[in-house]
Amino acid sequence: MNYYTYMNRNQIKSALINCARTHNITLSELAREAGVAPSTISGFVNDSKSGGRDQHFLSTKTINKLSLKFPDLSKFLRIAEPFDGDQLKEVRVIGLIDFENNQRITPLDHNTPAAIMIANTNLDYIAFKANNVHVSYLNRYYLCKIDPVDDENQFHKYLAKLVVIDCKEGRFMGYFFKPVDDDDSDYYISSLSLKPKKLTECTDIKWIAPIEWIKP
């Protein structure tokens, strides 16, 4: 009997996601460790149109490889509950926001998951994880689109908005400002506190990526 005889696609997705979460790895890492192409799993979970993966099930051979490496996947497949209709998507986490250093973006450390799952979206995002903050914010992620704005003529549209910015001084997250009535002054980033303060000037800006979603 094939594993998918009595299961719908979303139940199989649920089993894969729960297995990855149990091992504290991403779906791509789950695939690689089992000798499966990461695109096979991500394409299935994200209903990729490429190659018609949104219509196909994973092969029994692929499931067997995964189950051999991760025996608890078989348990998750047996107890998987149907989704409530939400579409889940894996989002790459590409940096930490150091709140003790002017909200500078720093590389991930080895204890930080390289991806998170989000629901109810068809948009592509990248994520930055909060770091060095109050314990209530340790699981917070800031998400923005993967197509940042690099046209200087468009920068003014993001004034007073929460953004990630890449500039000569580094990469930062914060509210984007420019001194009023001073066209020659530099843009700057301010803090996220109730009384925002200037953190750093931003010169030679390479790109801006507005934050579109904060999770949770």
If the chain, 216 residues long, is cut into consecutive pieces of 10 residues, what is the mean pLDDT of each piece? 53 84 88 90 75 68 86 72 55 91 90 76 86 78 92 92 96 92 82 87 95 88
Residue 182 near residue 84, CB atoms below 8 Å? no
Same domain, 184 and 133: no
Same domain, 40 and 74: yes
The DSSP 8-state label assigned to residue 157 in this structure reads G
What pLDDT does residue 82 have? Answer: 45
Is residue 94 assigned to a domain?
Answer: yes
150 to 96, 99, 112, 163: CA distances (angstroms): 22, 25, 29, 13
Residue 127 near residue 93, CB atoms below 8 Å? yes
What pLDDT does residue 182 have? Answer: 66
Angle, helix 72-79 to helix 60-69, in steps of 10 degrees: 120
- Report the alpha-carbon distance of residue 12 to residue 196 in Å, rounded: 46
Number of H helices, E strands in the chain: 5, 10
Angle, helix 72-79 to helix 9-22, in steps of 10 degrees: 140
Residue 164 near residue 158, CB atoms below 8 Å? no
Same domain, 103 and 138: yes
Same domain, 99 and 134: yes
What pLDDT does residue 68 have? Answer: 86
Q: How far apart are the first and last CA of the chain?
A: 40
6 to 46, 48, 82, 126, 177: CA distances (angstroms): 21, 23, 11, 35, 56
Residue type for position 14: S
Same domain, 61 and 13: yes
Same domain, 20 and 74: yes
Is residue 84 assigned to a domain?
Answer: no
Domain count of the fold of the chain: 3
Token pair for residue 115?
A: 């991806």
What pLDDT does residue 142 have? Answer: 94
Strands 125-131, 88-98: parallel, antiparallel or unpaired by DSSP?
parallel
Kindly report the CATH number assigned to the domain that includes residue 42. 1.10.260
The DSSP annotation for 126-143 comes to EEEEEESS-GGGTT-EEE
Same domain, 158 and 186: yes
**Domain coverage including residue 108:** 90-145
